[in-house]
Amino acid sequence: MSIERERTITTILTLLISHAITFFVYLIFCKELKSHPLITSCMPIKSIRLKSIEGRRYIDLNEKPRQIRIDHNSTITRFSASTDKSATVEFQYTASYGAIGVIRMEGSLTYEEKDARKVAETWTKSRKMPDEVAGKIHTAIMHACVPEAVFIAKDLTLPPPIPLPQINIGKKPSPKSGPEVA
């Protein structure tokens, strides 16, 4: 098989796999987490709604930067109790491509747990919350925003904000790469 044909096949397979992964991630972490019972049964996050989405490419399409660093950040901007067991959390998500571009999203989520009011009051006073709660909230934000950012990045001709799998055709796996059996 010619090298050119191998490259073409590799490119096609990479695109197919990346689109399949993106589609799968998008289906699971759609705009509202409450639509997927496997996620909401174990998490106190009941819904996520995006209020605004902004994407911007700073450099011309013809300019090819040598190296791109993509930084993700999620920030809680407001945490207010709705009831004793429910709170509304407003957030911002940013995928920064440095001097190349940026993707920003703002939204809100519903946090339902028996300590929701207490956590909201603590956050309002000190801008801090228990690590376990913060982990669940920021994970939910990333799960909702990163798949959206993949689609926005594609539209802006930016690299996806998550690494996509690489396909190597014709290379034999090393003998050490198999599962370890005791």
Q: Provide the b/e sequence for 55-86 (b: ≥16 CB within 10 Å).
A: bebeeeeeeeeeeeebebebebeebebeeeeb
CATH of the domain at 117: 3.10.420
**For the whole model, what pTM was predicted?**
0.68
Does 150 map to a domain?
yes
Tokens of 26: 């998008």
Does 121 map to a domain?
yes
Does 169 map to a domain?
no
Mean pLDDT per block of 10 residues along the chain (182 residues) reads 64 61 56 45 79 94 84 95 93 95 96 93 94 93 94 93 82 60 56
Does 22 map to a domain?
no
> Number of structural domains, the chain?
1
